[in-house]
Structure 1
Amino acid sequence: MDDRFNTAAGWVLFAGIVGLGLSAVSSRYFATHAPEEGGYPIEGAVEEGGAEEVLDYGALLAAADAAAGEAAAVARCGTCHTFNQGGANGQGPNLYGMMGKPIGEGIPGFTFSDALASHGGSWSYENMFAWLESPRGFAPGTKMSFAGLSSPEDRANIIRFMYENGGGPPLPEPLPEEASEGEEAATDAAADAEVENTGEAGTPEADAPAAGADQTNPVGE
């Protein structure tokens, strides 16, 4: 019995030694390499640091709804601001005629925060779009507690209301639209057809008689 046990134990030990040896040898010949880039690409994902979306302020303001902007301005901003001419200042300044004015100044009886007073520039349409999107992002340190509006259309409605209610600089023109591929293809096809038709029958060159031909007998009799 002891001999069988010793024999079996010896074979098990031998198998273990062989397995370790084969593992060591295989690791020398079959080395693994880490991938150059971790993970895998996701289709449609935008790389960090990519170009930001460019808003067409002219197109947005041209399509904006001033009535919807007034309703939104009163609902969202009316607790702190007034919009009528000569309206009183509240927690925020009266906003009548604000478009085009210098940022952080020019409102009698109201003291702006240092963040706005030192910002510089004027309330252009671009600046007002940025301010309504994120007051704290536009002027870090501002006392404005409003979180902002993420929708460009909502911002355009309010700005259009402010413009029609209190005036401001001329509205910006929409960005020029590039011709679509279909329009370009149609234009090119029309141009090619015009070139091909030049000089065909029915043109003045084709209908003109040859020099010296007898024009008194059209049928050649």
Structure 2
Amino acid sequence: MHFTSEERHEDGVLSREFTLGEIPGILWTPRSAAPTPLVLMAHNNGLPMAQPRLRARARHTAAAGYAVATIDAAGCGDRPRTAAEEQARADLRRAMGAGEPVDEIFESLVGSMVERAVPEWRTTLDALLTLPEIDGPVGYSGWTALGIRLAVADPRIRAAGFFAGGYVPRAQREEARQVTVPLLLLLQWDDEGNPRQRALDLFDAFGSEEKTLHANMGGHVGTPWFEVEDGGRFYDRHLK
């Protein structure tokens, strides 16, 4: 892991950009010098790690005493995409513009991205846990489809917060029953691109004994800021 830049913010949080082979990422750490738990924070469906909403959540979480890391995995951000992914994105834009069904297009696009992203996230986690300022345990926050696969594949994930707005492929809907870590699922009741019942069915499918659903009025990007604070209390219960 090679750190390429760093910035100390007014709240004491240190943000450092890094590369790990071809993987670019950002690590935020709190002012405290003591080793801290880690939260992996993933954005939805290929959005860049530079997304302002993600950075704001990351800094808030780091200021509360966590190391927070995100990466642009394969196919995400500015990283090269396969010809199939580019075609799927073009097909998706066309179908949405025409009001046509998009489930199968989402399936091919998002399913492929999850398969390619998970190994890179696990490689990044391996490297992060060697740093002296991080001692675990590990939580996850963000993109639901990726988080389901990570929670099933990697026992180091001890708690997960999912955003129900992201489309979840069939493979991850089937894997949901294998997710047993404490879970917080956020749902936007009026999400214009994701059927409400699909999110409710997914919540019902999770195998966790402790799982909580927070539903708020509003569209896809309307999650209220107080959910970040509630998420912090969720991680405090399970990671500290």
Q: Shorter-chain TM-score category?
A: under 0.3
- Scaled by the length of structure 2, the TM-score of the pair is 0.19
More helix by share: 1
More strand by share: 2
- Which entry has the higher C-alpha Rg, 1 or 2? 1
Between 1 and 2, higher relative CO (CA 8 Å, sep ≥ 6) is seen in 1
